[in-house]
A and B are shown apart, each in its own frame.
Chain A
């Protein structure tokens, strides 16, 4: 089974803090994704990566950056957290040539 893990299930940070969300997958997938999920808005793609050190902006990249130094790990960085970044963050991975994405359990981030 594909296993995608995220570093924290719940996180509380203060406005202006730098926040790191970590995601690790154990199936050697080339592609990794970060989404945020908000009520009534569904899932929105923040960034994705199709290879080590490669990244592409998704639909809502503003206020976020990412890092992919190793194939199995994809980090989402909030440079200066703001209250409107309070959300559920979901990481996913996908093997090239296959269509389905596999998701981690999510990190519920609250910025106060």
Chain B
């Protein structure tokens, strides 16, 4: 069946470091892909999305490119800030179904 696999955390980085959180998916057809972010004690917020192959989603300095050949949607940011500390979820949508990864916790230290 369809699924999303993202890298295990937790991830700890120093401020201004480069961030990559890996996400791969299994799905037939052409799913849409998302990254959500959850700050402590809050619900999930949509961070970025891509709806077709080679699309790049971007927001707040984060980017992810929909790679159909490698079935991946890795999240990147060139220079993280303390305020980026949160849990990041990769997700896939196809039809009425929505699948989430288990989340990757990121802590950025000053």
Q: Hey, which bits of chain A sit against chain B, CB under 8 A?
A: 4, 6, 9, 31, 33, 40-43, 45, 48, 50, 90, 92, 99-106
Contacts and interface: CB of A to CB of B under 8 A. Distances in A.
Contact of A42 (B42, B43, B89): B89
B98 A101 contact: yes
A104 B43 CA distance: 6
By CB atoms of chain A within 10 A, which of B41, B43, B103 has the most? B43
Interface residues of B, number: 19
A65 to B, nearest CB: 20
Q: Interface majority SS on A: helix, strand, loop or mixed?
A: strand
A100 B51 CA distance: 10
Given A43-B100, A90-B44, A103-B44, 16 more contacts: A6-B43, A42-B101, A42-B103, A50-B96, A92-B44, A99-B34, A99-B49, A99-B93, A100-B34, A100-B93, A101-B93, A103-B43, A103-B45, A105-B43, A106-B42, A106-B43
Given A43-B89, A100-B34, A100-B93, A90 B102 contact: no
Contacts of A4: 43
B27 interface: no
Interface of B: 32, 34, 36, 41-46, 49, 51, 89, 93, 96, 98, 100-103
